[in-house]
Amino acid sequence: MKQTGRFFIIFGLLMILWNTFLIKPIKLFTVFLHELGHAFMAIATGSGITELKIYFNESGHVMSLPKSWWSAFLIANGGYLGSVLFAILILVLKNTRFRKYIIGVIAIIFLGFTFRYSGIASFTMIYSVIFAVFALVLYMIQNDTLNQWVIEIIGIGSVTYAIYDTLVDTVIMQLNYQFGLFRMGSMPVTDAVSLSRLTHIPAIVWGLIWVGISIFAVYSVFLKSKGKPSRKRY
């Protein structure tokens, strides 16, 4: 099966099954990457981090201490944009000799941030340990095909998360909040809402920007690779 076709099959299945329990481990992984995006941006701007946590209900948060308006702006954007960038990085590295180390490096990063910012008695720690055990088992099996499928699934899952979650939790939720189409309780403080408060630009605009970037990422990773000759190793 050609790589582009395989990518689209994985992407389509993830979109269809996104709200099923079967996809929960992948969704938790993507939520962790989302929060890491906030955390890395906080570190890059010299802002402090006091807590990073994910939860079984697929939510999460990073508590940071932005040094300025600009750092707060970048940290708020770091979640969804980080998900897309991590996905591209994972899928690009998949075609290099580094691919057999991708899962292990991610496991080490998860454990490092969990020990530092989540605490031992937390669901974040439980998930990090489970993921680390999974990475160890995958490494011990030494099956290149299996490793490739796992990398593609989590990489494409990160893009799927950015598109689906932005559409549902930002664009559709904001439209519902504005027009009162359905009763869904109070509007949660999402990344888009935080950016709206910072910039006075409507949250739905930020959601549409993120969706556009995510779709462009799908185009760049999936479609632009179409037609390129695959490299064979002998």
Distance from C-alpha of 86 to C-alpha of 155, rounded to nearest angstrom? 8
Distance from C-alpha of 42 to C-alpha of 124, rounded to nearest angstrom? 19
Phi, psi dihedrals of residue 232, rounded to the nearest 5°:
-110, 140
- Residue 181 in tokens: 């189409």
Helix (H) / strand (E) element for 109: namely helix 102-117
Statement: residue 79 has pLDDT above 60: yes
Helix (H) / strand (E) element for 142: namely none
Statement: residue 233 has pLDDT above 50: no
Statement: residue 167 has pLDDT above 80: no
Contacts of 175 (CB under 8 A, 6+ apart): 181, 204
User: What is the value of pTM for the model shown?
Assistant: 0.84
User: For the segment 108-142, what is each residue's pLDDT rounded down to a tens digit?
Assistant: 999 999 999 998 889 999 999 999 999 999 999 88
If you average pLDDT over each of 18-27, 106-115, 166-175, which comes out highest?
Answer: 106-115
Q: 99: which DSSP letter?
A: G
Q: What is the pLDDT of residue 132?
A: 96
Statement: residue 227 has pLDDT above 50: no
- Residue 58 in tokens: 């697929």
